[in-house]
């Protein structure tokens, strides 16, 4: 049986815990989100960003920037739609997307800074 290379176990677990926590916070917290939980999400985002390998930073940046932009646009559209129609599902989805943003924005910033510093070294 081959031994699998486990370069990024901490980052992978932080990512998984962060996504599950963000979805849970969005579903159960809705508009009354605890700042402590948001702080934990931001901290997990920093951990995820720190443990992204340099060889995968471009892929991570492309995916995370896409996710951040689409989440932000989705929140804006759903909030507007919920305000017009009074639909509660729009609030639920925008709460989940907002919690994901709290985690992914710090991760994206950390990976972008790491990439800029590695470019400056060479």
Tell me the per-residue pLDDT of 43-60, one tens digit each, with 9 for 90 and over: 999 999 999 888 889 999
> What's the length of the chain?
122
* Domain membership flag for residue 84: yes
Structural domain for 99, as ranges:
9-121
* Domain membership flag for residue 4: no
* Domain membership flag for residue 2: no
Neighbours of 83 (CB within 10 A): 11
* Domain membership flag for residue 1: no
- Domain count of the fold of the chain: 1
| Alpha-helical regions (H) of 1-122 | 9-24, 35-50, 57-85, 88-121
Answer left, alpha or beta for residue 30, where phi above 0 means left and psi between -120 and 50 means alpha. left
Tell me the per-residue pLDDT of 46-105, one tens digit each, with 9 for 90 and over: 999 999 888 889 999 999 999 989 888 888 877 666 666 766 677 778 888 889 999 999
């Amino acid at each position: 049986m081959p031994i699998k290379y486990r370069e990024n176990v901490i980052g992978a677990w932080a990512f998984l815990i962060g996504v599950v926590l963000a979805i849970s916070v969005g579903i159960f917290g809705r508009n009354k989100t605890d700042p402590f939980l948001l702080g934990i999400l931001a901290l997990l985002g920093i951990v995820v960003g720190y443990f992204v390998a340099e060889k995968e930073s471009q892929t991570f940046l492309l995916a995370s920037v896409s996710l951040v932009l689409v989440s932000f646009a989705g929140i804006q559209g759903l909030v507007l739609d919920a305000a017009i129609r009074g639909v509660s599902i729009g609030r639920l989805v925008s709460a989940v997307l907002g919690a994901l943003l709290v985690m992914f924005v710090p991760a994206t910033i950390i990976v972008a800074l790491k990439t800029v510093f590695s470019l400056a070294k060479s």
